[in-house]
Amino acid sequence: MAELKKQISIIIEEIQKIVPEKFVMMEVCGTHTMNIAKFGLRSLLPKNIRIISGPGCPVCVTSSSDIKAAIDICKMPNTIVATFGDMVKVPCAGDCLQNYKNVKIIYSPIEALELAKKNKDKEVVLLGVGFETTAPLTAAVIKEAAKIKLDNFSVLCMHKLVPEAIELIMRSNNVRLNGFLLPGHVCVITGSDYFNFISKFKFSGVVAGFEAVNIASSIKELIKCFVDSKYGVVNNYSTVVTKDGNVKAQSLVKDVYTQTDSLWRGIGLIKKSGLKINKEYLKYDALNKFNISIKEIKDPKNCRCGDILKGEALPPDCIYYGKECTPSNPIGPCMVSTEGTCAAFYKYVEE
């Protein structure tokens, strides 16, 4: 621990020597959100450096409309809905998945496939949630279901793509940013070159890992890019991230999905920011199988999760935060997920 503190202190001293008058960065990864709060990095950095959280929590950005579709499936006879645990408490129009006995918490998509094999008299629906990191896993089980001709299995596909959301934020005039801490988990799959498009907008980004020292050094590298007017992507997580990424996983995504417009909770419709199951695997698309249409649902009035996800507000700016809205009684998704910004602030008492 002493050595860790020493390493971080050295990096902070180096940052203090190069920091501009004002520097605002955004991280777009739920694990970064939690670890920045956990390690207290905001309090260690100079006061003129500001870290804001973007739409990096997959549970937080899943729209109320998609949650409603999942709840509608729960209400159908002889169904089992398989989902990661963070999803079950996300509120939607006074309801949530936690209220249904046929919801099963899983830790891997393959478990949903096993549920379908063991329950041939039930329709098993996997909630496909997450970004580029988890989309290949869902694609793999869809392909396996097709291979073994498993007819009682389908996926409610809610996967989203990070670049389109980042581009929306870069085009916005509401937040003045100087750069991005880029998600290491996503880049393991996509490769660091996936984010090179940010250079067109004269932005820089650093691919960061998740330990305190790596996050701190990534912040330093990002500030250096800004000071030197260096636009594009720097890979500071080269132990696991390459410029090309996991080609096999990318092939799975390309084989099973096509890009589509997608609703992001609190943000709205973002063009080409989602994935849908393509025609070859349409029988495994739960929307098609159960003839469900996605209808836009309004989020709770005065809940500022959308503003927080766009970096336009911090959790304490919301009138519900820490009062009506707590982890045990969440009003918005940013307080539900273990990777949500509100949950991170609440747990580690950030102000």
For residue 328, the model assigns a pLDDT of: 86
pLDDT computed for residue 1 by the predictor: 66
In order, the DSSP letters of 202-222 are T-EEEEE-SSHHHHHHHHHHH
What is the per-residue pLDDT for 279? Answer: 96
Nearest to 183 by CA among 216, 157, 214, 206: 206
Residue 349 has a pLDDT of 64
Q: Which amino acid is at 198?
A: I
Return the amino acid letter for 56. G
Reported as type and span, the H/E element at residue 259 is: strand 257-264
Instruction: Say what the alpha-carbon torsion angle 298, 303, 305, 310 is, to the nearest 10 degrees.
Output: 80
Q: Residue 107 is which amino acid?
A: Y
Residues in contact with 4: Cβ distance below 8 Å, sequence separation at least 6, in sequence order? 212, 213
> CA 86 → CA 40, 64, 343, distances in Å?
24, 14, 12
pLDDT in tens, the chain (351 residues): 678 788 989 999 999 999 888 999 999 999 999 999 999 999 999 999 999 999 999 999 999 999 999 999 999 999 999 999 989 999 888 899 999 999 999 999 999 999 999 999 999 999 999 999 999 999 999 999 999 999 999 999 999 999 999 999 999 877 789 999 999 999 999 999 999 999 999 999 999 999 999 999 999 999 999 999 999 999 999 999 999 999 999 999 999 999 999 999 888 999 999 999 999 999 999 999 999 988 777 778 889 998 999 888 999 999 999 999 998 888 888 998 888 999 999 998 655
CATH 3.30.420.40 describes domain 59-161+245-289: no
Instruction: Check residue 2 and give its pLDDT.
Output: 75
